[in-house]
Homo-oligomer: A and B are copies of this chain.
Amino acid sequence: MSIPRPKQPVRGSKSGVAIMAVFDLLGQKWNMKILWALRSSPLSFRALQDNCDGMSPSVLNGRIKKLTQAKLTAKTADGYELTALGASLMTTLDPLRQWAAQWEVACTDRCD
């Protein structure tokens, strides 16, 4: 499977529209969590794995490659870290935390 990237057809969409590439990338299991985990500081491969509930190393490796090709992460001496672009994505996604809190409230009102 090819790496989701703007201006290219992506998994599940032939449009190549940028936002769809984003959905494609973020809609793949673990990618959001990986980026989220790297938010505050660089992490080693194994630390990243631990942060993601012990996800398979093979899958993690694949994700890292994709995220790196998408220019959202990079490998440095400190381990893996967000690029400026990746960091800006996390900033963009930051309001999600607040939303999640609202969602939590709405859902704990007789959701069970």
Show the binding face of A for B, using Cβ within 8 Å: 5-7, 12-14, 18-23, 26-33, 36, 52-53, 55, 69-71, 85, 88-89, 92-93, 95-104, 106-108, 111
Tell me if B6 and A103 are in contact (CB < 8 A): yes
Q: CA–CA, A28 to B98, complex, Å?
A: 21
Among A7, A36, A92, A108, chain B packs the most CB atoms within 10 A around the CB of: A92
Residues of B contacting A21 in the complex (Cβ-Cβ under 8 angstroms): 100, 103-104
Residues of B contacting A104 in the complex (Cβ-Cβ under 8 angstroms): 6-7, 18, 21
Tell me if A107 and B31 are in contact (CB < 8 A): no
Task: Give the copy number.
Answer: 2
| Closest-CB distance, A24 to chain B (whole angstroms) | 8
- Choice from B26, B29, B92, B106 contacting A71 with Cβ under 8 Å: B106
Having A14-B53, A71-B106, one finds 8 other A-B pairs with CB under 8 Å, namely A18-B101, A18-B104, A19-B97, A27-B29, A27-B31, A27-B33, A71-B111, A89-B99
Known: A27-B30, A33-B23, A55-B12. A7 touches B108 (CB 8 A): yes
